[in-house]
Chains A and B, each alone.
Chain A
Amino acid sequence: MLRFLVRRIIGAVVILFLLSIVTFVLFFGVPRDPALMMCGKTCNPDAIANIHHVLGLDKPITEQYWIFLHNLVMGSNQFAQGPCPAPCFGYSYHTNEQVWATLMDRLPTTVSLTLGAAVCFLFVGLGTGLLAAWRRGTLIDKAATAGAMVISSLQIYFLGPLALAILVYQTHWFDKPDYTDFTHDPVSWFTGLIIPWVILSTIFAAQYTRMARSSMIEQLQEEHVRTARAKGMSRAYVFFRYAWRGSLIPIVTIFGIDLGSLFGGAIITEYTFGLPGLGNLAVQSVFFSDLPLLLGVMLFSASMILLFNIIVDAAYAFIDPRVRLS
């Protein structure tokens, strides 16, 4: 187990390292200069040169990259805006705020959104999927399959504004989506996130319904399940003891990836509902050519995906004893 973890973590670090290089090169490969954006109306070559100098963009790319890596690991006291302890991604070009502090500031929003939605979609999605598999071929199954099909073909940017228009602006049944810190006011935290949770989980739940159903049906056709039934075990016992565990494997895999990418920022959901999370931050970093913020968001999101992949792989061993980590 330990060997497995060490190997995977080293692998993840290498991937992040490569990703940071690619992001860096891509950023400088695009014919777009962050200095021009900051330069204001009375821009001229001297003013651009000054901004390049202030941002350190007048140094060779390799040196800039080395400084970035150095700061990331060691932290830095070289920034005019103040100290920058490791992991230091520097200060945002656009807002002049410490990138790591900004990421940590936005993380609670994204975590709240993701966890709340995950609870909803796992419960609803798996429940409906298993029910459909249990009642395969019946009206329930057909309704669930068709419903899941329709809903999973919808998009958040369609459902979101629709829900807002009906549930908030027309009927005033729900509060306008808004993020309040849980520690500050748990009730506002909950009421402000209901609609984003419901919308985000609706789309995921539909996918999990389909997945859970097909995975379960596949498992029910396995030989060990048939053997168990032939030995006289009850249908319910076989369903939940034998087939259920096996059917979880692909679901856990997908769940890990979904959770990882959601923790990296549910971009469209956050944008649609105006939630100040990592997704909105990612959009902002691209719009403002904000390299430190862009690198920060990219690497943080990638780390989340990698982290959850490792967790999922480790979890296989617990779910399915046939899997051996080596």
Chain B
Amino acid sequence: MSRGGRHVYSALSVLAAGALVLTGCSKGGSDTGTNDKKDQQDAKRQQASIKFGGTADSTGPAAPVPGAKSGGAMEVLQRDSYAHLDPGQIYVSDEGSLATLLHRGLTGYKTTSNDGHQHEVVGDLATDSGTTADGGKTWKYTLKDGIKFQDGTPITSKDIRWSIERLFAPFINQGPTYVQQWLADTSGATYRNLLKDGPYKGKHLPNSVLETPDDKTIVFHFKKSHPDLPYALAMAGYAVVSQKGDTKERYDKNPVVTGPYKIQSFKSGKSMVLVKNPNWDPKTDPIRHQYVDQFNITFNQQFETSTKSLLADSGADQAGISFNNQVDAGNLSQVLHDPKMKARTVSGYQPYVGQMNINMSHPAMKDKTVREAIAYALPITPFVRAYGGNDAMEVAGGLISPTVSGYDAAFDPWGKKKNPGGDPAKAKALLQKAGKLNMKLTFGYINTPEGQQYSTAMAAGLKKAGFDVQRQEIPAETYYDQVSKLNNNYDIFHTAWGADWPSASTVLPPLYDGRVIADGAQNYSQVNDPKINSEIDRINTITDPVKSAAEWEKLDQYIVKDVVNVVPTAYYKQVQIAGSKVGGLVYDDVIGGVDPRRLYIK
């Protein structure tokens, strides 16, 4: 899934915190009016049905949205301006949502139900989701007929080659790196050595790596098998870039697009207007629609402002929406308690899963009994409350989110789902057994209103179990920089991580592979467990997505229950709202928010 990186996330939480401070708004906790059961069931349906589609699935046009009408202008209220429009630079959610209207790639997610919960990966520019005859080492794609850029130029395999090759150039530094690393058969950033300047100095990737035998065919050659390629290519970061129209750094402000909408004007930090792209042919596109004539996007709309504007439901805001703003915590319970307002909302899971990291590099934390005591004692209720209750957070059992294949709702080794307040008595007994009663525990917490709130209550819970908890605040702006330093002095600290696509292969390896421990990397707990490492290698070669999902879940359970380097806290959720004239309002699990492609004006 093309959702935000951890640093972006930290930035966003800072922004959110700022909004609270500046508007003098206080959070009201709401523990009622939940859609828990429905959300969970919906998520379950999705993982059960996701598959890689063939030619028939990949043929346009997309099935019409029931009741949809064409025409009209939709007002879009967004908090942050778009920093990147070049597909190669797109990773975060805001730009990912926008990209669903602008950019097309070889593959994409097609919703196969009208509720946004069932998906399959299909060919978008390609005729199918990709064919492989050798278990994922060689992947072949054929381009459809009639696909064009906004300027009317046909899209050929040369453009696809160009789009992939330019990702190796130094100026592309914000998008995903999966496919580059797979092509270069390396981890880290050394993949750039394969094509140092990208295609800009006349060099190209050899045919043994990326092959384009004719105008329609693209073949990827990997050294190892990568069964996840159809997922990866569906990320906005791998959408096509026009070779003819490539302006390098300047493409980021003025891309040549392929989707149903093109950019009529973009005033960075102020506004953007999208209009219909006449060179987009619905017959080639199984995924998108083009109902609305025009999207008028305005930036600098804080969550509270956009919520209030859309709640007021007057004037142009009746046909108003936000692709990414949530209903702010202060208005959440009011919105969900009023049936009329609630009817205009959609809710669902964000891809993030929260976890309390236990710093395995500290000698005191090497005792597994101590870590088990932390796991039993840690109360999750304060975390859920701090973010606005059960509509914003759901207590987690494992590290795999409900929207990711392999999620096991029954897994709950520390009893958090049943008893989110923690079990200090059991924890105290364990500490006593280990002879570590009243041991010092340094808790680094993020200095946001939420962080202050939940860390105080969590510390109290841990104290009850016999830990001598020392809370240490970390400024929100530098939080992730500090906790990802190898020599940080925090015993426990909280982080959140989201999957890039609905497979745990984008969750467990980056977070728990002991061979990628480094300053600034994401193995926050610094766990280096031989079994985790070898299991990652083994599961990465399984080509059957259903089988690998089951194996990832087993590894998840091993990490949470047997290694205990992290304690899962919560699955992040959100509620979004639209004006009364907005039709086709659906929360899409893959986008992790409103699906802009289905919207129409009633």
Contacts and interface: CB of A to CB of B under 8 A. Distances in A.
Contacts of A36: 7, 480-481, 484, 520
A276 interface: yes
Interface stretch (A127-135, A217-225, A283-291): A283-291
Contact of A31 (B177, B482, B519): B482
Contact of B520 (A48, A80, A161): A48
A274 interface: yes
Contacts of B176: 40-42
Nearest to B315: A172
A51 B270 CA distance: 27
B309 interface: yes
A311 interface: no
B249 A276 contact: no
A324 to B, nearest CB: 45
B173 A38 contact: yes
Contacts of A170: 312
B89 to A, nearest CB: 9
Contacts, number: 164
A11 interface: no
Nearest to A45: B518
Contacts of A271: 18, 22, 300, 302
B91 interface: yes
Contacts of A50: 170, 173, 189, 192
Interface in B501-539: 510, 516, 518-522
B189 A158 contact: no
Contacts of A40: 5, 7-8, 91, 173-177
Given A102-B269, A158-B24, A283 B170 contact: no
Interface in B164-188: 170-171, 173-178, 187-188
B411 interface: no
Contact-size category for A? 35 or more
B24 A155 contact: yes
Interface in B36-83: 81, 83
B189 A280 contact: no
A272 B253 contact: no
A102 B81 CA distance: 13
A44 interface: yes
A311 to B, nearest CB: 29
Interface stretch (A93-101, A141-149, A249-257): A93-101
A233 interface: no
B84 to A, nearest CB: 8
Given A38-B173, A54-B173, A96-B252, A169 B311 contact: yes
A41 B173 contact: no
B341 interface: no
A17 interface: no
B11 interface: yes
A308 B5 CA distance: 43
A32 interface: yes
A39 B174 CA distance: 6
Give the interface centre of B25, B178, B269 by most chain A CB atoms within 10 Å.
B269
Give the interface centre of B190, B478, B516 by most chain A CB atoms within 10 Å.
B478
A168 B314 CA distance: 10
Interface in B238-253: 248-250, 252-253
Interface string A228-247: 00000000000000000000
Contacts of A106: 269
A39 B7 contact: yes
Contacts of A4: none
Given A44-B521, A50-B173, A51-B173, A274 B189 contact: no
A80 B171 contact: yes
A22 interface: no
A160 B305 CA distance: 11
A176 B309 contact: yes
B481 A44 contact: no
Given A44-B520, A46-B188, A169 B312 contact: yes
A305 B432 CA distance: 63
A82 B252 CA distance: 13
Interface of B: 5-8, 11, 14-15, 18, 22-25, 81, 83, 91, 170-171, 173-178, 187-190, 192, 248-250, 252-253, 267-270, 298-302, 304-305, 308-309, 311-312, 314-315, 317, 477-478, 480-482, 484, 500, 510, 516, 518-522
Given A53-B170, A272-B23, 19 more contacts: A37-B8, A39-B5, A41-B522, A42-B176, A42-B510, A44-B516, A45-B520, A45-B521, A47-B173, A81-B250, A96-B83, A96-B253, A157-B24, A161-B23, A164-B305, A178-B298, A271-B300, A271-B302, A287-B14
Would you list the 10 A-B pairs with minimal beta carbon distance, nearest first? Answer: A46-B189, A41-B5, A274-B300, A169-B312, A47-B189, A32-B478, A276-B270, A81-B249, A40-B5, A37-B7
Interface of A: 30-33, 36-51, 53-54, 80-82, 94-97, 102, 105-106, 155, 157-158, 160-161, 164-165, 168-170, 172, 176, 178-179, 268, 270-272, 274-276, 280-281, 283-284, 286-289
14 contacts: A33-B520, A38-B174, A41-B176, A46-B189, A81-B250, A82-B249, A82-B250, A95-B81, A102-B269, A155-B24, A164-B305, A165-B308, A169-B314, A274-B305
